Structures are given as C-alpha cells and as structure tokens.
Amino acid sequence: MNETDSARPVMDAQAAETYAAWFKALADPTRIQVLHLLATAGRPMSVGEIVERSPVGQSTVSHHLRVLAEVRFVLPERQGTSTRYAVNRTCLTVFPAAVRAILGEAPASPDAGECRAR
C-alpha cells in the first residue's frame, strides 16, 4: 500500500448502505427475470401479466416487485384499482457506477437519479 492509498477515505456509510441494498435486490434470480421481462416488454405490466410469464406465483412476484420498488429499480404506477410496474432504466443504468465506486475508480454517488432505497 502506498501513501496515497492510506490517505483515501473509506466510502461513507450512506453510500455503502445504498449500494448494499442495490446488490441485495439483484441477488435473486427471479428478480433478475422480472427486471428482464419488464425491460424487454418496454411497457408497464400488471402483477397478473408478470405472473403469466413467470415460473412463480402471484405472492412471490408481488414480494419481488416490492423489493425492487424499495430500491427504485421498478416504479409502481397506480391505474384505478390495479398497479402496473415499469422498469426504472435511470436507476439500473447508474448501478455500474456503484461497482466503479466500490473499486475506487469513481466517486460514490448513490443519489444519482434518486435511486435510494425508501
């Protein structure tokens, strides 16, 4: 370790917490499949539509959508009595910046696109 490395501050706790939540949200294969489905559909989808195209049931899809919405990777849109979900491309595109920040190649900026967990 050289002198510059020892002078570098540790990533602040808030950024680390945000990034950990992002990684946790993406740590499940079903959530990856749901994100992929929403991204390739290119339109908001209801839970029922997602269930029809998924290998899991309604309660599981709803749980995964809740986790993804907490980190704003999906955005719920109320339409009357139902909710449709759309992929939030803004938040997903800043995700690679988290990796660069962890590697010390870029500054931590978890506020980008307001993609913090709620």
Residues 6+ apart with CB under 8 A from 1: none
Tell me the mean pLDDT in the region 8-34.
Answer: 89
88 pLDDT tier (thresholds 50, 70, 90)? very high
Lowest mean pLDDT among 13-17, 48-52, 58-62, 83-87: 13-17
Question: If one looks up domain 10-114 in CATH, what number appears?
Answer: 1.10.10.10
1 pLDDT tier (thresholds 50, 70, 90)? very low
Which tokens hold the place of 101?
Answer: 């920040």
Residue type, 10: V
Measure the CA–CA gap between 103 and 87, rounded to whole angstroms.
Answer: 27
Residue 2 confidence (pLDDT) = 52
77 near 44, Cβ under 8 Å? yes
Residue 113 confidence (pLDDT) = 47
Residue 111 confidence (pLDDT) = 58
